[in-house]
Each structure stands twice: as C-alpha cells, then as structure tokens.
Amino acid sequence: MRTAEINRKTAETDIKLYLNIDGGGNTDIRTGIGFLDHMLTLFGKHSGFDLRVSCAGDTDVDDHHSTEDIGIALGQALKAALGDKIGIRRYGSALIPMDEALIQTAVDLSGRGYLGFGLNIPTQKVGCFDTELVEEFFMALTREADICLHFVQLSGKNSHHIIEGAFKSAARALREATEKDPRFGDALPSTKGAL
C-alpha cells in the first residue's frame, strides 16, 4: 500500500494528514474551513485516494495559513506515498464539466514542481472562502509533491463551479498518473532513468 502520514505543526497551524493512494476514496476532512472541507472531500472521492485531514489553524486571522499548509502537507504526503515511482503511469489528464464550467487538468509526476494556473475565478469569495487561496493551495501542493500541474478553464462563470471542476479534474488526473501500468513493470516511465 502506498501510504503516508504527515504531522505538521507551526505557530499558525497544527495539521494531521493521512493519504492512501490505493484506497477507495474514503475521506474524513476537518479543516475548520467549510468550503475547503467540501473540496477535499470530493478530491478524495474522485481520486480514489483515502484522505484524512484535521487542522487546527488561526482561522480567526483568515483561512490563508490553514489552506496553504494543508496544500503543503498533502504535497509532502503524495511525494512520500509515491516512493520510487516504479511502474506508475506518470502522466494523467481529465476534462471535467461542472454545469457551465469546463475545466481541463494535466499532471506529470516529473519530480519538478510547477503550477500552470489557467483559472479565471470571477469573484473574490465563495461564501466566506477567499478564492485566491485556490491558487495558493495548488501552488503549495505542486511545490512539495514535485509535480507539474496545469489547469485550463475552457468555460465557466460561477466561481464555485470553476473551483469544484478544478479539484475534481485534478483528482481524476492524479488518479490516472499514480496508477500502476503493468507494461512498465519495474521500470520508471522516463528515458532519464529518474523522476
């Protein structure tokens, strides 16, 4: 089983995170941020990853520290759970409709952290959640996991739908990229011999 547990404690947040890449999409998410709980729950479901997250953060200030630090912890867990990456598909992509929103995501588990954030989120908030934190979350995740992740928004007017489409398409792309490909066997999917 490809699993990882991350405990991250700072002056701003106290996070406990468990990830099982080969799970069944079971989640237990308690971040203290309702909208982020919703996004991480559907992320777990659509990736097929088992994901448990608890966070005690300084949300009396705002949601920034908790959101970014959860992205850091999830990225660290993904990198640890993938291990040597032997036999994985490496690449994944998904095109996900969410009502009027259509979001395309592609990922490369390359060992090089990069985020291409091509989302145009029209409002500054969804409920109480600052929408600029979506980019902060995925930037932290890609940097810590050492993956290349691109989002392209093909359509969309509703901020909730755009963000939900992004989380779902990222989940589906990661599901594909982390799957074992029997054709690779014990080989890395790289001509360099390293990921």
Q: Confirm whether 118 is domain-assigned.
A: yes
Instruction: Give pLDDT tens digits for 123-182.
Output: 999 999 999 999 999 999 999 999 999 999 999 999 999 999 999 999 999 999 999 999
Per-residue pLDDT reduced to its tens digit, 2-43: 999 999 999 999 999 999 999 999 999 999 999 999 999 999
Tokens 């890609």, residue located:
142
Residue 188 lies in a domain: no
Rounded average pLDDT over 74-101: 97
Q: Percent of the chain scored above 70 by pLDDT?
A: 99
Q: Is residue 164 part of a domain?
A: yes
194 in a structural domain: no
In a domain, 189, yes or no: no
Instruction: Pinpoint the alpha helices (H) of 60-102.
Output: 64-82
Query: In whole angstroms, how far apart are CA 145 and each of 75, 80, 89, 182?
Result: 4, 8, 16, 24
Longest Cα–Cα distance of the chain, Å, equals 51
* pLDDT interval class at 194 (50, 70, 90): confident
Q: CATH code at 122? A: 3.30.230.40
The answer as to whether 193 is a domain residue is no
**The pLDDT of residue 188:** 75
**Res. 95 pLDDT band, cuts 50 70 90:** very high
Q: How do residues 55-86 score in pLDDT, each as one tens digit?
A: 999 999 999 999 999 999 999 999 999 999 99
Number of domains in the chain: 1
Q: Which domain holds residue 107?
A: 3-178
Whole-number average pLDDT of the chain: 96
Q: Given this model, what pLDDT does residue 76 score?
A: 98
| 190 within domain boundaries | no
Q: What is the pTM of this model?
A: 0.96
183 assigned to some structural domain: no
Q: Is a pLDDT exceeding 90 seen at residue 183?
A: no
First to last CA, the chain: 20
Q: Write the DSSP symbol of residue 146.
A: T
